[in-house]
């Protein structure tokens, strides 16, 4: 069975990778779908986020990367996938994710949303927080893989 794990992954974090690892042990194939959401201001381009995710998942043979714009349910229908994975870090994530899951189900009743929690050591991580710390010159090495840390340093050195 296939599952899709969508997100902006701006940048990819150890929390994201923890969920990908867990999902890859449950599903035959996991498609990590990097989204281009015009309502979010990304620090990395879609192409760079895809490139970073490809490096991040290289050790997971049943995980692949794709991209999408628009509604995730349209992507799922086009790929004939019925399971979407969403990460929950804290209770604050639940309300938004619950609304999104029910809206997706209303629009396409055959889609199921599976909520997964990262390891507790990553439960507080957010890409937004990591971007803020990196932009102020803070050390993000414990939150992101080394190649992501280097890209964040390069990005902020250029500004």
Active site residues: 16, 40, 89, 127
Among 69, 42, 64, which Cα is nearest to 54's? 64
Question: What span, in angstroms and rounded, lies between the C-alpha atoms of 17 and 54?
Answer: 11
């Amino acid at each position: 069975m296939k599952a899709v794990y969508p997100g902006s992954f701006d940048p990819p974090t150890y929390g994201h990778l923890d969920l990908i690892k867990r999902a890859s042990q449950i599903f035959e194939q996991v498609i990590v779908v990097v989204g281009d959401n015009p309502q979010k201001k990304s620090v990395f381009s879609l192409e760079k986020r895809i490139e970073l995710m490809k490096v991040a998942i290289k050790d997971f043979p049943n995980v692949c990367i794709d991209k999408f714009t628009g509604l995730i349910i349209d992507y799922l229908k086009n790929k004939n996938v019925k399971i979407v994975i969403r990460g929950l870090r804290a209770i604050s994530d639940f309300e938004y994710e619950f609304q999104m899951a029910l809206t997706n189900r209303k629009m396409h009743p055959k889609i199921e949303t599976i909520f997964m929690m990262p390891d507790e050591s990553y439960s507080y991580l957010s890409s937004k927080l990591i971007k803020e710390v990196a932009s102020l010159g803070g050390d993000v090495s414990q939150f992101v893989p080394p190649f992501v840390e280097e890209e964040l340093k390069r990005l902020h050195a250029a500004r």
